[in-house]
A and B are shown apart, each in its own frame.
Chain A
Amino acid sequence: MYKKKFTPYLFIIPALLLILIFVYIPIFENFYFSFFRMNSYMPGKTFLGLDNYKDIFQNDIFYTAIINNTWYAVISLIFQVGLGLALAIILESKLLGKEKKFFRTIYFLPSVIAIAAVGLMFYYIYNPNLGLLNAVIRLFTEGDFRYAWLGRPNTAIFAIIAMSQWQFTGYIMILLIVSIQKIPQELYEVAEIDGANSFQKAIYVTIPQIKEMILVTGVITVIGAFKLFTEIFVTTRGGPYDTTQVLGTFMYKTAFFYDKMGYAAAIAVIIFFITFTTSVIQISLANRGGD
């Protein structure tokens, strides 16, 4: 009996050690590094205390990045979760027959393409001279329309956000469809007997039943919004004049262009706290509503 008490822990220890070494220790190391001035090729580091954090909070690019990340989160919640939910409900309703499989695939397809490839594709779609988007607009307007969607500060970040909506709405939709399929049919039958129409069934049966999944997708989307990097890096790299910087690209830039590893570590800490607190808030909300 005594022996058996410890046996399960023996099986857990290897995985625990791996996670400790490769996840938790680096996270704490990163906290430690954020108090220093250091770079990767020079030995030694200078202790700065909280100076890195002070500098970050005085840096305009940091605020641009926060605003851009927030835009990304808000728009993604509306389109990926909101529109994704609407699509999921429509595709799972009785309005559609066999063709629902076809639409499901169509909407899901963009999310399996590598982000780098999508970035390149949209780079050309948005191109002022060769771009598909301008060509379509020229069909309906007079004059020579050549707008640089990614080259103008007021549209660049939204052009990138739009690209992500195109790519990931279908993915969120599939996650929601899976949980809609698990809802017992009886509930709909009861609702029908009570005289509910399709809209009422969606509001009073489907959404409450998949509330958990909606929250999960919400968490995924918001955390994803603050970890954003590749979408920006493959399209504008933060340009023109740093108007499309997000926290991820700002961190990358300070680490690899400014050679300020400590400063970059401090940005990483800030990203960590933002994503950590949003997920704690959202998960506790989910638990409260779950009872």
Chain B
Amino acid sequence: MSKKLLSLSIVLTMLFIMSFTLTIGAEEVTLKFLHRWTQEPDNSFFEEIVANYEEQNPDVNIDMEVVSNDPFKEKIKIMLGTENAPDVFFTWPGEFTNRFIRANQIMDITSYMEDGWKDTLIDSVVEPFKYEGKIYGAPYRLDAKVFVYNTKIFEEVGVEEPENFEEFITILQKIKDAGYTPIAFGNMFPWAVSHYMGQLNSYCVPYETYMEDLKPAEGDFAHPGYLKALEKYEELTPYFNPSSNAIRHDEARVSLFNGEAAMMYLEIIEIPTVEQQAPEEFKENYDVFVMPWIEGAEGDPNALLGYPEGFVISANTKHPDEAVEFLKYLTGKEVGKKEAQDLYFVNGFKNVVSPGEIPDSVYNTTQLVLETDSLVNWFDSSLHAEIWSVVGSELQKLTDGVATPEEALEEMRDIAEEVRAQF
């Protein structure tokens, strides 16, 4: 008898515990959050802002997961097909995100945005998160590509920031003659060359045409400007360090820091790295300029390569309102201020930082982004993955001088045609 009683009481206790946990679960909302900053100081920054959010919103529990850059690209594709998809996650706007939108995996947040949220953000950096007129995400940090150069070397050689592309080639030659590497370039992973091409394409091809060509279902790259862009890139190749296809981007950056190379094409978000890692000598003597305009080209002289990064919400989230609130926080003023101070990154919130709050170099380059109305997406992440895979290889060949601009363009048009057929 007592045995029966004992087992009965055990069962009752377990039922009690289960009902208890169930009631707790009903009150607290858990949001799964995925980002890609495994390194410091970014990782602890996220831990801190998430902890702050949980403190402000006791009924929301954030379950944060971090995956580093390259594995992230694979993992998110697998996760989005499953029950375990994160509610709020990092993404690169453009084709990387658009393919998920086409697969109905990302929540349309237009109605929330139009409810006053959009007015707090800078228009031009919300634009990238639009797809077919609807808004799908919010920007976490601004970015753009600029030439960071060593002012001391420029002074020593006696050259100044170029006004146009022709002048650019002239000063590159002078720097080369003076015994320096004119441009440090690490193209082992060809996203590096894609940045050159993104900017040159937007100079050589009218903005609307370029944007149309980036759509995988329509793009044919028929405009003659693409050939011109490739030719301009080819003109730059003699001024890179040798074997650029065998060197990683961060390795090449070292030669800029230690004064072997006069300049390098960098992202604004690398400026914090300059501030953290470069020797004092370099930090006191650097400045930036954008890719010089090509006289007579048909594109937009104000076009600037540089797309923001941001966060989106999974279409399958069970808590859309809570997820939106968290997304507002992540891309809002409070986090933006802290982000600028701790990490030197600027987000898309209007007037989030004023001069003097962050290093001038960061502030000034950020202004470049705010001044242009034609932000152009990174060439690699704006292309359909299959097209990029071929184009990336062709651009590496062009860098090594084993393919001509004509050959590279032909391959690009061929693969674009193949991909078009799939839609």
Contact = CB atoms under 8 A, between A and B. Distances in A.
Interface of A: 37, 39-43, 127-129, 146-153, 236-237, 239-242, 253, 256-260
Interface string B230-246: 00000000000011011
B77 A256 contact: yes
A39 B245 contact: no
Contacts of B73: 256
B245 A242 contact: no
A257 B400 CA distance: 24
A152 B385 contact: no
A128 B397 contact: no
B77 A242 contact: no
A239 B99 CA distance: 26
Chain B interface mostly helix, strand, loop or mixed? helix
A147 B103 CA distance: 46
12 contacts: A37-B422, A41-B81, A41-B99, A41-B100, A127-B246, A151-B188, A151-B247, A240-B396, A241-B396, A256-B74, A258-B385, A259-B99
Contacts of B385: 257-259
Nearest to B399: A240
A237 to B, nearest CB: 7
Nearest to B76: A41
A151 B77 contact: no
Given A42-B103, A128-B242, A257-B389, A239 B396 contact: yes
A259 B396 CA distance: 22
A193 B402 CA distance: 65
B197 to A, nearest CB: 15
Interface string B84-106: 00000000000000011011010
B96 to A, nearest CB: 11
A64 to B, nearest CB: 11
> Which of B99, B103, B246 has most A Cβ within 10 Å?
B246
Contacts of A148: 242-243, 245-247
B295 interface: no
Interface residues of B, number: 30
Interface string B383-414: 00110010001101100101000000000000
B77 A146 contact: no
A52 B190 CA distance: 27
Contact of B77 (A39, A129, A240): A39
A241 B397 CA distance: 7
A237 B189 contact: yes
B353 interface: no
B78 interface: yes
A245 to B, nearest CB: 10
A239 B77 contact: no
Contacts of A41: 77-78, 80-81, 99-100, 103, 105
A258 B243 contact: no
Contacts of B190: 239
A239 B243 contact: no
Contacts of B402: 153
Contacts of A146: 242-243
Contact of A253 (B247, B389, B394, B396): B389
A128 B189 contact: no
Contacts of A258: 385-386, 389
A41 B132 CA distance: 20
